[in-house]
Amino acid sequence: MARTTPPFAAFEWLVAWRYLRAKRKEGGISVMVWISLAGVAIAVFALVATLAVRTGFRTEFVNTILGANPHATLLSASYGAGGGTIGDFDRIVEKVAAVEGVARAMPVIRSQGLASFEGRNAGVEILGIRKSDLLSFPLIADPEISYGDLERFEEGLAIGTGVARELNTGVGRTIRLVNPDGAKTAFGVSPRISAYNVAYVFGVGRYDIDRVRVYMPFEEAQNYYDRAGAADEIQVFVDDPERIDELAEPILAASGGLRLWTWKNASGAFLRALEMEDNIMFIILAILVLIATSNIVSGLVMLVKNKGKDIGILRTIGLSEGSVMRIFFICGVSVGAVGTAIGVVLGSLFAIYIDPVFEFVNMLAGGGVWDPSVRYLSTLPAKLTLPDVLSAVGLSLGLSVVVTISPARRAARLNPLESLRYE
């Protein structure tokens, strides 16, 4: 009668370890073990690295969106219909800023125009803003790249590095801004052209901001665009940008009838598309992990076949089916666990040292691998988070357990008499 043993007893681990490290001449499958382990490690590495880059992309996009743009914008009810300016904006700013959860609010003049310097032209987005408000933008006050002094903003303009590159200009140079909706004369509308000194050049790392953004002192923008005593919009910043939808009603109530446009309204479709792409990538890589863990099945099937005699002897001396099953279960799961651990370490190192890795790949490719005009970010981002690592580990270990059960049960059900008949 088979003797009952405690589950996962020490001798079961010992036998499993002996089988895993057995040489081929001893009837082992060490080569298949290494192949299975390498497959799981590579698959988990790819999954962790992809999840890190996925999280990095979303974090960088959100940070750049919120680091140089408002969390919400209040617009006039007649905005876009021939009107659109907001009078008495200081009173509205004060009331909105007093709403619980709102960090600050600021009036802004917004328009499009043409920037010109020594025969070079660039279409730009011009924002009239107070210096104290501009300093509150994290990515503008402390950008990736900066030239000049933001404290001297009221003496001229702050322009993006893309604008400076397009115009071939820099700090201390004088550029001209052209406003097509200028002064009305007897012969029609005459464009307004004014010259301004470049006081500050910034690069936030996002192409669609660096390439078009120009900041102008608020009072100067009011004069330039004939907005005396008015603002085009009021930009609102909250303590928790993810809760902007919850704060929409109290902000609207405090504004006295203005329209609200949040950062999720502006970028929500893009973020949803990014999330859908992320989910698809996770499914594809999960299939890759499944294929890698399936190699464990091949290895265990060969191990069970080669160890038929051993199984017969173990059963004859009193081991139960459950004990035999656990021995081979330990073999399979151990390969999956070690491969998962190696993959997590490699994936984590890739995410941590992604900049030198990417520079090496870019050098091998001869440069030009990353185009910020297409991807909007100046570098490839990666952010390693515990939930991403745990999801990769859970998926890999879960699949390792599932695929190991069938060959382990097959080993446990071998008839010991049949196994020893021809030995």
Q: Return d(Cα 186, Cα 184) in angstroms, integer.
A: 7
Of 184 and 338, more confident:
338
Q: What is the pLDDT of residues 228-272, one digit of tens each?
A: 888 999 999 999 888 888 999 999 999 888 889 888 887 777 778
- On the question of pLDDT at 380 being above 50, the answer is yes
Question: How confident is the model at residue 2, as a pLDDT?
Answer: 45
Question: How confident is the model at residue 84, as a pLDDT?
Answer: 73
Mean pLDDT, rounded, for 306-321: 67
Q: What is the pLDDT of residues 323-369, one digit of tens each?
A: 777 877 888 888 889 899 999 999 999 888 887 777 777 677 666 55
Q: What is the pLDDT of residues 14-36, one digit of tens each?
A: 777 777 776 555 444 567 778 88
Question: How confident is the model at residue 291, as a pLDDT?
Answer: 86
Question: How confident is the model at residue 318, as a pLDDT?
Answer: 65
Number of Cβ within a 10 Å radius of residue 227: 20
Question: How confident is the model at residue 288, as a pLDDT?
Answer: 85
Name the token pair of 374: 């297409």
- On the question of pLDDT at 130 being above 90, the answer is yes
Q: What is the pLDDT of residues 44-79, one digit of tens each?
A: 999 998 888 888 878 877 777 777 788 999 998 765
Q: Given the structure tokens 């999840």, which residue do they identify?
A: 51
- On the question of pLDDT at 96 being above 70, the answer is yes
Instruction: List, in sequence order, every residue forming a beta bridge with 270; answer none if it has no partner.
Output: none
Q: What is the pLDDT of residues 398-421, one digit of tens each?
A: 988 888 888 777 777 666 555 555
Rg of the chain in Å (alpha carbons): 33
Is 206 buried (19+), middle (13-18) or exposed (0-12) by CB count in 10 A? Answer: buried
The dihedral built from the CA positions of residue 178, 179, 182 and 187, taken in this order, carries a sign that is positive
Contact 334, 422 (CB under 8 A): no
Total residues belonging to the chain: 423
- On the question of pLDDT at 179 being above 90, the answer is no
Helix (H, G, I), strand (E, B) or coil at 183: strand
Predicted TM-score of the model (pTM): 0.66
Q: Choose the weakest-confidence range: 86-95, 197-206, 270-279.
A: 270-279
Helix (H, G, I), strand (E, B) or coil at 228: coil
Average pLDDT, the chain: 81
Question: How confident is the model at residue 126, as a pLDDT?
Answer: 93
